[in-house]
Structures are given as C-alpha cells and as structure tokens.
Amino acid sequence: MAIGDRARPRIVVVMGVSGSGKSTLGGTLATALGWDFLEGDDLHPAANIAKMAAGQPLTDDDRRPWLAAISQWMSGEIIAGRSGIVTCSALKHSYRDMLRRSMIDHPGADLTFVYLSGSRDRLEHRLTTRTDHFMPPGLLDSQLGTLEAPTPEEGIITLEIGPPPPEIAAAALAAIDESAGRLRRPSSADPH
C-alpha cells in the first residue's frame, strides 16, 4: 500500500511530551505528503488549557474528552477518504489504545504512531526557549512521570530528537514509507 493511496486512508499520530517537536514534525510531514494536519492541542477544552497554563498537570479524566475529540477527527478523515497527521502526546498505553479503538470501524485504514523521544535536559531546554505555547516548562516532570514509553509490541516508530528537524522529518518519512510499502508523494492534482 502506498502512503498516499486514496483508496486506503492513513492516519499518523506524532506523539511525545511537550517540547519534543510534535508540531514541527507533524506540519513538515503533512506538507511533504499533502495530507491534512491537526494540531491536537487545538482540541483541548478551554479548562484543560487554563489548567496547564496555571502549571497544573492534567488527569486521565481531563484528557478523555480531548482524546475522544482527536479520535473523532481521525474517524472523520477516514470516512472522507483522506489521510491525515495529528499531534497528540499519547503519553500512556491506555491513551494510545483509545486512539487505536477509534480505528475499529475503519478496517480499510491504517494508523501509525511516530514517537519523538529525547533526554530531559534537551526537552527542558526546548521548553524554556519557546514563547508561543501555553505549556509551562514546570510541567515537564509531570509529563515524563506520566509517560509510558512505547513497547516493541506496539510497533511504534521511535525517533530521537537530537538531529536537526529536517533530518528527523526525513527519518520519519522513510520509516512511514517502510511501514506502508512504498512512498508516493501526491501530485499537485492529488490533494490527499
């Protein structure tokens, strides 16, 4: 199956803790593939954003409606016959399983996770130098404490965040391509 095959929609979830570069990679992949892109943080309820901005970690109950909204977007893309990229921290196995369950009604579609992994020091540096996000650096330890790193059984693509973003994007495209068969970048006449 080719990545850009319209007959078989595909969803790629770019996951990792805050500061790992999910938005940068997700946007780059969406542009390269000509797929739709959703910044998962845009689906957080206002109460979640306010809580995080105040330095309070989210609970499972806080995250459930957010994960449900992401699942709904994924299903909508597939029903429309489109492929898409979405960012989502997907910190726990149970959160990833919830996203996987949203694919049950779509056996003709594929779901791939790309996990951006990095050291605490690198992540903290990234968080302290960015100014355009509601997530304060003080929540990094909470996210790392919540993180259940993917296991080999999950079949998740794992990439280290040390290299420059273009190298990470190239590695992600190659890994997504390998997991799908062969990469077919869409032509200008093929928007998805």
pLDDT in tens, 80-136: 999 999 999 999 999 999 999 989 888 889 999 999 999 888 887 777 765 555 555
Give the pLDDT confidence of 49-63 residue by residue, as tens digits: 888 888 888 899 999
**pLDDT at residue 191 tops 70:** no
Residue pair 85/14 in contact (Cβ under 8 Å)? The answer is yes
Domains and CATH numbers, the chain: 10-180 (3.40.50.300)
pLDDT band at 177 (very low <50, low <70, confident <90, very high): confident
User: In the predicted model, what is the mean pLDDT of residues 184-188?
Assistant: 35
CA distances from 59 to 53, 133, 141, 153, 154 (A): 14, 20, 14, 26, 23
In 3D, which of 95, 149, 94, 89 has the Cα closest to residue 119? 149
pLDDT of residue 29: 97
Interval 56-73 mean pLDDT: 93
**86: nearest Cα among 50, 147, 137, 44:** 44
CA distance 143 to 124: 12
Q: Which pLDDT score is estimated for 8?
A: 82
Please report which confidence band the pLDDT of residue 148 belongs to, taking 50, 70 and 90 as the band edges. Answer: very high
The distance of Cα 187 from the centroid of its chain, to the nearest Å, equals 24
Mean pLDDT of the chain: 84
Q: How many helices (H) and strands (E) does the chain have?
A: 7, 5
